[in-house]
Amino acid sequence: MLGACRPTPEPPPPAEPPASPLRDVSVRGSIPDEARVTDWVISATLDAEAHRVDATARLRWTNRGPEPVAVLPMHLYLNGFRAADTAWMREGLHAGRTSGIDVDHAWGWVDVTDIVRHAAPDDEGTEVSWAERDEPSLMDIELGEAVAPGQTVDLELTFSTQLPAVFARTGFAGPFHLVGQWLPKPCVQYDDGTFADDPFTFHSEFFSDFGHWKVTLDVPAKFVVGATGTRIDGSITGDRRVETYEADMVHHFAWAAGPDLVVWDGEHEGIRIRQLLPPDAVADAPLHHDAVVAALDSMQARFGPYPWSTITVIHPPPGASAAGGMEYPTLFTTNRRRQLPPLLEALGFRDRFSGAFVTIHEFGHQYFQGMLASNEFAQPWLDEGMNSLSNALVYLDRYADETDPWVVQLAGQSFSILDGVRVQQRFAGDLEAVDQSAAGFDPTVGGYGATVYRKTTAIMLTLRALAGAEAFDAALKAYAHKWRFRHPTGDDLVDALVEGIGETIEVSEPAPDGSVVRLSVRDYLRTTLSQADELDYAVREIGRQTGASTAGHHRAQDGSLRDDGPPSLDPTEAFAVIVRHGGLSVPVEIEATFDDGTSERVTWDGVDRHVTLTWPDRTLRRVTIDPDGRLFLEMRRTNNTRWAADVEPDETVEEVAADLAQAVALGLLAGVGP
């Protein structure tokens, strides 16, 4: 279809790749030695016709645990695509993710053909045995002699990786190859010596250890290559191109190769921002470059320096869009910017979301997973959810100079990233607990995105609003600093937030009796993260009732009955009944506006299912719950305001909806005649 006219810009001249995969230590800071667990030297050859990669990998693995290790469990992630009964495919078929599958090239796998253990760099080595588990995304290597704590083992693995036609993350589309989770990788060893030998499931991603990588890729000469790390060598011999990449302190190496890709080299603070684009997407390169820069600026300020010297953005060509929107260390795939029909543009539709958001999100994973390498199987919210929070903050930072930072505008009406957080929780964000393993989410219910991404964001934004942005941001920064190049858990994050913000926060001014409403930060996080429930307050009723009075007969001091007058039946007291519908509760501010134009705010702890608030000798005009919109977890705000029955509201949604419907009808009528 037609799109708006945008000229295609010329790519900037190609730039030399950075010499080192890491930025200078004075910029990035030091990296703890104990973070280094797996070092790799790999040589891989792509058969572009068969869509197969044949490789040998020399792996040096360090036992960082307390016990000797005789059996090393490994992930064979790509085997998740090997058959209909793997853990991944069972769930994926339920969720319909496989609908675009190419039945002739559906399956992908990694087939290990040989493993040799070396005692010295150049020795012959000894064959060791290995066995896939029943769930083929895992295998165990019998090391023979156990590896003592603190010692290393050198293994040489020969394997062959068959790529599927891409329908989820990894695979090929025509001559384009996105080689994602393509090699056997050791499972992460916990401090107690046990291994995170989780299967590869539909919602789960990856969990690995950091190390150094030197990878030589042999591809057809006409192919352009993008890969984790920096290119240190390259040559063309005959019809083959051989390039060597080096990466350091990353937990994976991914690459893409295909013909007809345009390279767009950019730079920011000495970081090479390299984009590989199909020709028809080149016009979008500046947009994605700016998105990476916005994310870099925001996240470096909030979570510490970006340590690597490169970031590579792969734009999947047409037909490979299923590879889009996936993160790997110092490399990610993004999505296309939507081409808007001019009719929408004529109606003043503008967005800062399409294309740019995916780039910001996948870049964000360089921190939330790339550095803060949490277990994506066990606690997907810790990277996806916290990353989504950081994405919202990128938008707030990037457009901080605007009074109304929109992500979508229609005829001047704005929709913000925070509006989006609220609305998107509505899609089954109340049916699953945030803090559970990826395999725990029901793929048929489809609440994974609303829960893991959006609800986590809302939980954190709500805490940020209640605790104050400064305290929250400082606590999160401390967390990011402490857990760089480590494997934090949800408890570690909660501890860091409690430590930074305090055990309790005061969420109200002192009442006349001196009482203050407090929130326990730990309880708040524990309940909101663990309960499949929602937060929803509503104004049930407002009005006037007969207030307290001393009319009637009372016993006087002298024992006689004193007449204190006739009863006053006129209502004198304003009241409002506030109810809590959802199972979650958070202290909430309630604003009452009176007939004399004054207003007053009270804070309710939200613990009971309802509260009746009263104001003697006042008359209410209106009551609004959470007037400043601080409770981002409250996904429904249509029930947050009531006006007194005899008051005409300033503006009502029925008027607005009616005006809009009227304008659309009038527009259509103008279109059909005369």
Partner 1 sequence: MIAALRRLAAIPGWLVGIWLAQVALAAGVGAIVRTTVAAAMDGDHIEPGARWLYALADLGLDHPAIAAAAAASIGVAAVAGLLAWTLVVGLLLARLRADTSTAAVLHTWWKTLPGIGAQSAWHVLMRGVMLLAALSTASALPPAAGWPLVWLVWSVAIVGLDVARTRVVDGARPLHPRTAAVAIIDVVRHPARFGPAVALAAAGTIVPLLVVWLGLSQLGGAMAPLAARAVALVGVGLGLWRLAVVVARTEPGDDD
Contacts of 529 (CB under 8 A, 6+ apart): 381, 433, 434, 435, 456, 459, 490, 494
Restricted to residues 487-546, the positions that interact with partner 1 (CB under 8 A) are 538-539
Among 14, 144, 270, 348, binds partner 1 (CB under 8 A): 348
Helix (H, G, I), strand (E, B) or coil at 538: strand
Residues between 123 and 182 that touch partner 1 (CB under 8 A): none
Stretch that binds Zn ion, among 308-316, 340-348, 382-390, 413-421 (CB under 5 A): 382-390
> Which one of residues 121, 412, 514, 559 is an interface residue with partner 1 (CB under 8 A)?
412
- Four-residue CA torsion sign, 127, 128, 133, 134: positive
In total, the chain counts a number of residues equal to: 674
Does 352 contact partner 1 by CB under 8 A?
Answer: no
Q: Per-residue x/- marks for Zn ion, 326-355, CB under 5 A?
A: ------------------------------
Asked if 457 interacts with partner 1 (CB under 8 A), we say no
Residue 559 interaction partner, one of partner 1, Zn ion, none, beta carbon < 5-8 Å per kind: none
Element holding 241 (H helix, E strand): strand 240-250
As a whole number of angstroms, the distance between CA 423 and CA 458 comes to: 11
3-state SS assignment for residue 253? coil
Q: Indicate which of Zn ion, partner 1, none lies near residue 14 (CB less than 5 to 8 Å, by partner kind).
A: none
C-alpha distances out from residue 144 to 130, 131, 141, Å: 11, 14, 9
Q: Which two tokens stand for residue 41?
A: 């030297």
- From the list Zn ion, partner 1, none, partner contacted by residue 548 (C-beta under 5 to 8 A by kind): none
DSSP state of 673: -
Question: Which contiguous run of DSSP H or E holds residue 591?
Answer: strand 588-594
- In the complex with partner 1, the residue whose CB is nearer, 148 or 657, is 657
CB closer to partner 1, 190 vs 415: 415
Smallest distance, partner 1 to C-beta of residue 620, A: 13
Q: Nearest Cα to 229, choosing from 250, 210, 243, 259?
A: 250
Q: Are 40 and 214 in contact (CB under 8 A)?
A: yes
- The binder of 347, among partner 1, Zn ion, none, by C-beta within 5 to 8 A per type, is partner 1
CA distance 385 to 501: 20
Options 163-171, 212-220, 293-301, 656-664: segment touching partner 1 (CB under 8 A): 656-664
* 670 near partner 1, judged by CB under 8 A: yes
Q: Rounded CA gap, 82 and 174, in Å? A: 20
Check binding of 5 to partner 1 (CB under 8 A): yes
**411, 428, 563, 585: which one contacts partner 1 (CB under 8 A)?**
411
Sites for partner 1 among residues 563-622 (CB under 8 A): 622
**Token pair of 138 as six digits:** 């895992």
State the Cα angle at 125 between 63 and 38, rounded to 5°.
30
- From candidates 268, 477, 482, 636, binder to partner 1 by CB under 8 A: 636
Distance CA 489, CA 377 (A): 12
Q: State how far the Cα of 234 lies from the Cα of 268, in Å rounded to an integer.
A: 24
For partner 1, the binding residues in 535-574 under the rule CB under 8 A are 538-539
Q: Which stretch, 3-11, 68-76, 199-207, 442-450, contacts partner 1 (CB under 8 A)? A: 3-11
Instruction: Closer to Zn ion by CB, 226 or 449: give it.
Output: 449
Token digits of residue 586: 């958070």
402 binds partner 1 (CB under 8 A): no
**Closest distance between partner 1 and the C-beta of residue 587, in Å?**
18
Give 432 or 634: the residue with its C-beta nearer to partner 1. 634
Contact flag: residue 1 with partner 1 (CB under 8 A): yes
Binding-site partner at residue 70 among partner 1, Zn ion, none, CB < 5 to 8 Å by type: none
CB-based contacts of 527: which residues, under 8 Å, 6+ apart?
584
DSSP 157: E
By CB under 8 A, how many residues form the interface with partner 1? Answer: 61
Nearer to partner 1, 400 or 670 (CB): 670
State the residues that interact with Zn ion by CB under 5 A: 384
